[in-house]
């Protein structure tokens, strides 16, 4: 499979964005469609609980618009913000569809509060969308602050469910208890990996599925990122003809 650098992806997107094409909406459509399939395949009891971990960049926007679609489909969607900013239009759309912004999002600068909130919500979630960071990361740079705390919170919830304890146990299906935690879906790339080289460290949240947009990122084909990405699914957003014929 061909893999492309972040710069090649951005160059391919540029004329489409300049023409006003809704690339983010196409990405969100594909992400929501795959999320719905995973919820159905995982035996999640209706309506299904989804946690969105949302950063400041375009990945956060993709995640929020996918959350809008999931909420409109009747899913219980909770948003926890991990960045200093948030995609305003995406947030408004998700909230209008019935998603809930967790109160900790008002104090996202407090990592301890973020970790506790994520642990609590993920304890009964069926699906987590990791939309914290995207293809702008270079090198093996550890996640910091609220993003690092969110990863720790998901891991704590996974350990808690593997142990079979907690007040949330009665709300979990047999499939959820066997799985030991929610299905983790990385949005475009697992947050914190270098999309070109595959560099990553132990702060990256292990994904079960990575939904990547437009073209395969070269880093997803290289270790250690390849192992952290789980099964990778490519969503066509309409830029394929503008990608270089010689990939990395």
Q: pTM for this one?
A: 0.92
The whole-number pLDDT of residue 246 equals 62
Mean pLDDT, residues 178-188:
83
Plot region of 126 (φ>0 → left; ψ -120 to 50 → alpha; else → beta)? alpha
* Top-ranked range on mean pLDDT: pick from 95-99, 139-143, 169-173: 95-99
- The dihedrals phi and psi of 197, each to the nearest 5 degrees, come to -105, -20
Q: What is the per-residue pLDDT across 27-60, written as a single tens digit (0 to 9) for each?
A: 999 999 999 999 998 776 778 999 999 999 999 9
- What is the reported pLDDT for 210? 98
Q: What is each CA distance from 180 to 14, 40, 110, 154, 172, in whole angstroms?
A: 41, 17, 27, 11, 10
What domains can be seen in the chain, in order of their start residue? 6-239 (3.40.50.10260)
Mean pLDDT over 119-132 rounds to 96
Q: Is the pLDDT at 15 greater than 80, yes or no?
A: yes
The pLDDT value recorded for residue 172 is 43
Tokens of 160: 């808690």
**Degrees, nearest 5: CA angle 63-80-131:** 30
Residue 169, pLDDT score: 42
Element (H, E) at 130: strand 127-131
Average pLDDT taken over every residue of the chain: 90
The pLDDT-based confidence of 177 (bands split at 50, 70, 90) is: very low
């Amino acid at each position: 499979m061909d893999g492309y650098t972040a710069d090649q992806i951005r160059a391919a997107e540029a004329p489409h964005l300049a023409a006003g094409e809704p690339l983010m909406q196409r990405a969100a459509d594909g992400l929501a469609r795959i999320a719905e399939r995973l919820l159905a395949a995982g035996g999640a009891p209706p309506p299904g609980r989804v946690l969105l971990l949302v950063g400041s960049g375009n990945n956060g926007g993709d995640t929020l618009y996918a959350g809008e679609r999931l909420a409109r489909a009747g899913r219980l969607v909770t948003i926890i913000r991990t960045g200093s900013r948030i995609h305003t239009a995406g947030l408004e759309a998700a909230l209008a569809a019935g998603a809930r912004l967790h109160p900790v999002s008002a104090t996202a600068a407090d990592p301890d509060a973020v970790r506790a909130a994520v642990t609590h919500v993920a304890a009964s979630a069926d699906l987590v969308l990791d939309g914290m960071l995207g293809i702008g990361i270079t090198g093996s740079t550890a996640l910091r602050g609220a993003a690092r705390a969110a990863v720790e919170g998901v891991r704590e919830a996974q350990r808690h469910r593997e142990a079979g304890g907690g007040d949330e146990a009665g709300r979990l299906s047999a499939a959820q208890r066997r799985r030991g935690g929610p299905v983790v879906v990385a949005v475009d790339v697992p947050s914190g990996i270098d999309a070109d080289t595959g560099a990553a460290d132990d702060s990256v949240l292990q994904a079960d599925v990575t939904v990547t947009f437009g073209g395969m990122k070269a880093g997803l084909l290289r270790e250690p990122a390849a192992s952290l990405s789980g099964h990778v699914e490519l969503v066509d957003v309409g830029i394929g003809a503008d990608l270089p014929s010689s990939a990395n």
